[in-house]
Structure 1
Amino acid sequence: MTATTVSPGSGHGRSVLRVLPAGGRVFGLSLEHGPLAPATARHAVRPVLEAWGLDGDRVYDVLLVVSELVTNAVTHALPPVMLHLHAAVDGSGGVRVHVTDGGPRPGTSSVAGNWAAVRPEGEHGRGDVIVSALAGPTGTATGDDAALEGLIDHWADLGAA
């Protein structure tokens, strides 16, 4: 049996420890769709990664990818925003980050109150480059997958350290 951290779908920002059959470690967190979501995700994920035995450099890389994918979801997509991490049980340091959202928000760059749109141009627009530099394969799964039910899942693999 593998100790796994999973959050219930109902509690924003709360996670609970559960035991699941062997095969991997999983962490899930439902996030508020707003500017605090990236920080909330980082604060929740760090202790989980450390408990999984990842070294400091790997923790930093995963946190950066989490932050970028969550920021993109909040900036460019509709709610909900859900974060899931999957790690191998072999302790190799490999982690897959999933951020699922409600799909593209029409006119995101000009939406009044969009917190990213009001930032200076030099302060955004590099997320995809950062994720690509740190992660191996990346991708997107659409609502065509029955499990996603109309949502979009963006994922990035950070291979074994």
Structure 2
Amino acid sequence: MAGTPTACSSYRQHNHASATATEYTALPLTLALPHRPQAVSGARHLTRAAMIAQDFAEDLEDTVLLVVSELVTNAIAHASPPLVLHLDQPTDDTLRIAVDDGGATPHPNGWHASCTEDEHGRGISLIAALAEQHGAIQRPGGHTTHWATVNMQT
């Protein structure tokens, strides 16, 4: 996504319920999110708005939103801030979803620490099952980008 112009905005500056869909619909999209559990629903809401604006097939919505949810949730539960969501369509048939985070945290964050073993641990398996490809890229300063691609052909 480097070198590509982006629609970049900070979710912290907007309440997702009051933001209009057109504020966040141009692809590629880069969006800073708050590092807290409520960011997951905001990320889904804004991703759905972008999908509608881009006229993506409706039957892909559940897959894309689940991948977004899992990537953002993992960043909140297992990593330090900042938290940035990227959506891009590098080809007509591929949507790339990426989440930048501040790198692994030595201790589980907040609400995640209170979860029992059977309440977590399936996120990467879900992403692997739904995505065409997925992975992680280590960045300078300990930051990490976790990404997945979803086939847009129905």
Range class of TM-score, shorter chain: 0.7 to 0.9
Amino acid at match of 1:87: Q
Equivalenced residue count is 142
Task: Report the equivalent of 2:100.
Answer: 100
CA 39–13 in structure 1, closer or farther in 2 if over 3 Å, else same: farther
Q: TM-score, normalised by structure 2?
A: 0.81
CA distance in 2, matches of 1:18, 1:123: 33
The runs of 5 or more residues in structure 1 that have no matched partner are: 20-24
Residue 44 of structure 1 pairs with residue 38 of structure 2: no
Amino acid at match of 2:149: D
Please tell me the root mean square deviation across aligned C-alpha atoms, in Å: 2.4
| 1:35-69 deviation per Cα after TM superposition (whole angstroms, max 9, x unaligned) | 11111100111010111111122121111000000
Q: TM-score, normalised by structure 1?
A: 0.78
Say which SS state the counterpart of residue 67 (structure 2) adopts: helix
Query: Rg bigger for which structure?
Result: 1
CA 101–59 in structure 1, closer or farther in 2 if over 3 Å, else same: same
Task: Report the equivalent of 2:143.
Answer: 151
| 1:100-129 deviation per Cα after TM superposition (whole angstroms, max 9, x unaligned) | 000000122xx6xx2012123322111001
Any residues of structure 2 matched to 1:3-152 within 5 Å, and which?
6-8=7-9, 10=10, 12=12, 14=14, 16=23, 25-88=27-90, 90=92, 92=93, 94-108=94-108, 114-144=110-140, 150-152=142-144
After the TM superposition, which parts of structure 1 deviate over 4 Å for at least 4 consecutive aligned residues?
Answer: none
How many percent identity over aligned positions? 39
| 1:130-154 deviation per Cα after TM superposition (whole angstroms, max 9, x unaligned) | 000000111111114xxxx542100
